[in-house]
Amino acid sequence: MYNKQVAQVIKQLNGDINDGLTAAEAAERLRQNGANALISKAAISPFKRFVNQFQDFMIWILIAAAIFSFFTHEVADGFIILAIVLLNGILGFVQENNAEKSMQALKNMQVPAAQVLREGRVQQVLSPEIVIGDIVLLNAGDVVPADGRLIEAAALRIEESQLTGESLPVDKHANVIQSEQLPLGDRRNMAYSTSRVAAGRAKMIVTATGMQTEIGKIAGMLDDQSDEKTALQIKLAELGKLLGIAAVVICLLIFVIGYLQGRDPYQMVLLAISLAVAAIPEGLPAIVTIVLAIGVQRMIKAHAIVRKLPAVETLGSASVICSDKTGTLTQNKMTVVELLSDTAKKTADLNSLTAHDRLLLKTAVYCNDGSVELVDGKIKQIGDPTETALLALALQYDITQQSLAGVRIAEVPFDSERKLMTTIIKQDGLTAYVKGAPDQLLARCTSYYQDGATLPLDDAKRQQITAAIAEKSARALRVLGYAIRRFDALPAKIDSASVENDLLFIGLTAMIDPPRPEVKAAIKDAHLAGVRTVMVTGDYKDTAVAIAQQLGIIGKGQQALSGIELDALTDEQFSKLADTVTVYARVNPSHKVRIDVSKEASDIILTDDNFTTIVAAIKEGRIIYDNIKKSINFLLSSNIGEIITLLLAIVLNLPAPLLAIHILWINLVTDSFPALALGVEQGEADIMRRKPRNPAQSILGDGLMRDIFWQGLLIAGLSLTAFWLGLRIDLMTAQTMTFLTLSFAQLVHSYNVRSRRQSLFKTGIFSNMRLNQGVIISLAAMLVVYLVPALRVIFKLKWLMLNELLITFTLSLLPFVAVEIYKAIWRQIKT
């Protein structure tokens, strides 16, 4: 609509510029096009969301194991497995439900009402009821309720950073723009939903509502992304299938060997099913969900809302951060950083003002439509950020419109063609104060102010000022010029031709939307973690590059691309350049999708728009993935220890070293608490000095499967040693020693897996108190069946002699010794 005349747009939309739509017309259009609101895909019912928690192969295997337990009359074991499955589902359901509510609150970013011309009079109309063809009136401070083509505009400036990333309000007009393809930020005769009117007033005709608006298209792009599984979901599903196949093979193997050896078939079936349960870490789904939920809670405190749990883990493998500039890398708050009055000076170095400085700030205050006030020691800014930045600086030196006491009696409003604004103030005579684009202002100046005197503006001085303007602009500073003109009497006609000439040049100010102070360190942390930072902004290329250089985003061999340059590239050309581009400037929301902003990002919303939150989220994702691997390491090495212990004993035609009830008790009770506690480790010191992991890598990759196997083999060897020594006395003593050795060894081993490479003495035994508590609970659960006589009978255990207990405890400690030696050798090799 921006390239059509106003009359054409009104005709095309069947609007009425004088009277607006009738109530009947508005009602019919509302019926046809729907409410002016952002909507999501059809909401998932609570029941369906709950059922979705069980759409996982590992969950199905566990349910099957529970059913087998019921068939073999092990009802208690079946109920325990089902309880764990149910807990996993409830946790996932509650977290996703709460996060969805938070997300919905963010999506409802619609203004409650707007001024609309209908049936010949201006009415307050609720935003959802605004329709295409409505005539909307806009004033300073309003939020634009829908997309529209401007019909009239007076000194209109609109802040569109939410859509374009451009930090400054942009000048708007109602003139036609003769261009077929313009970036969003250059469509100066359009106003877009959720943008804010910074200054001026306007009238527009609504061209799009709801999901057809530009902000609606962004919401639609997020909703249209397919529900792909994250890397963690895929890997856990693969692991579940692998363990399920292993369980079936082990069951068959144990049963066939036992049957051929003439053992009791029922006992063999019971033992085989118990081993199947041992082969599958049934607590893992619940542990993963709880670990993710705890990570989500930590991220909420860091100002991030997570819609879906696995999205947190996905961030841990991120190798590129595509970040907006405005408000994320910068403060989204214009700040005056330099003055050029009698001399050039930085505002940060100002201790006091010269008379020239005061005149410059006086001009900036008088020629200003913004306002600031001090609230609880903080400056509250209302209006155009550029103007309020000037007022905020002046306020620091007690220069305000109230203290100056002048009266504005006339003005020449700002417009985008001449790029100047003038106010005429009555105070000891009449003075015109002019502010605006320095090149435009300087062309209208004939003299300059210096040391209290008025001097002619010759070519040499003009070139000196022009060079200063160019130097500051090259550093992406927004430069404004200031001038005054004194009158003996008010001109007959108040316009630019009568007022804005023969000016006295006062000076310049330079301002910028400064980087957040914490961002540079965060970018460095990301770099050390092997994560490349890319700036994506709607701002101009020079400004974006200047900020990128300050923050360390762009360096040698790296480049910047504008949205137009990006559009000109084919996908093949773009893929070749992508690794060298660290700044994308003047881009539209659709460009941000093309440069592969992570689809999972739609599942994580930053409530503070802070880049450091992104880096913190990546760190949290790495910690979560690391912790899940620790839990897997502990559970699988423990389970492999049990499997090898039983399998070798049966292959060697020895009595079963463990009974089915022993295996189930160890797996369902003793192992669970340490495995969960490992999932809440705070993260190792080098977590953000590692390279991003390959998302395609197996969760058991990077040598983890090797570690799991040899550690499981070690635990099995120690358990069989205990069994062999106990057999010298009797079978019940041997099984009791095996049960205690295996249980104690696994609890000791939980401390080994806290770090795959770092010694426990350096990690600190008290640095994870939850693990200590979990080990104590598991130890109590294991000892209670040994110490309580009635339970000892049920579990078919025997009271051991002191020397037998000493052997058991000694064997249980050996995994710690062996793993510490292994870690020391690994560290020595790496150094």
CA angle 565, 169, 386 (to 5 degrees): 120
Cα 397 from Cα 120, distance rounded (Å): 49
How many Å apart are CA 658 and CA 649, to the nearest integer?
10
Integer Cα distance of 586 and 598 in angstroms: 20
Distance CA 648, CA 683 (A): 37
Can you tell me the distance from the alpha carbon of 25 to that of 30, in angstroms, rounded to the nearest whole number? 9
User: Which residue from 164, 192, 179 is spatially nearest to 543, judged by alpha carbons?
Assistant: 164
DSSP 380: E
Structure tokens at 606: 């930053």
Pairing of strands 503-512, 445-450: parallel
Handedness of CA 133, 138, 143, 149 (dihedral sign): positive
Rg of the chain taking only CA atoms, in angstroms: 36
Label the pairing between strands 335-340 and 320-324: unpaired
Q: Which amino acid is at 277?
A: V
Closest CA to 200 of 114, 140, 137: 140
Strand partners, 455: 448
Output phi, psi for 693, to 5 deg: -75, 155
Per 3-state DSSP, what percentage of the chain is helix, strand, and coil (rounded to 5)? 50, 15, 30
β-strand partners of 411: 423
Active-site residue identified among 16, 147, 324, 539:
324
The beta strands (E) that lie in 704-823 are given as none
User: How far is Cα 523 from Cα 329, in angstroms, rounded to an integer?
Assistant: 10
Pure H helices in 16-164? 23-33, 46-52, 57-71, 75-107, 161-164
Whether the CB-CB separation of 295 and 95 falls below 8 Å is answered with: no
Within 10 angstroms of residue 398's Cβ, the number of other Cβ atoms is: 7
CA 260 to chain centre: 59
The whole-angstrom separation of Cα 168 and Cα 334 is 8
The DSSP 8-state label assigned to residue 603 in this structure reads G
| Encoded amino acid at 152, one letter | E
The two structure tokens encoding residue 583: 């700044």
Helices (H) and strands (E) in the chain, counts: 31, 24
Would you tell me how many other CB atoms lie within 10 Å of the CB of residue 492?
A: 6
User: Strand 503-512 to strand 478-487: parallel, antiparallel, or no bridges (unpaired)?
Assistant: antiparallel
DSSP state, 157? E
Question: Catalytic site residue 324?
Answer: yes
Q: Residue 691 gets which letter from DSSP?
A: P
The residue with tokens 């003769």 is 178
Q: For residue 310, what are its two tokens?
A: 């696995």
Q: State how far the alpha carbon of 591 is from the alpha carbons of 224, 502, 676, in Å.
A: 16, 47, 42
Cα atoms in the Cβ-side hemisphere of radius 13 Å centred on 542: 10
Residues recognised as catalytic = 324
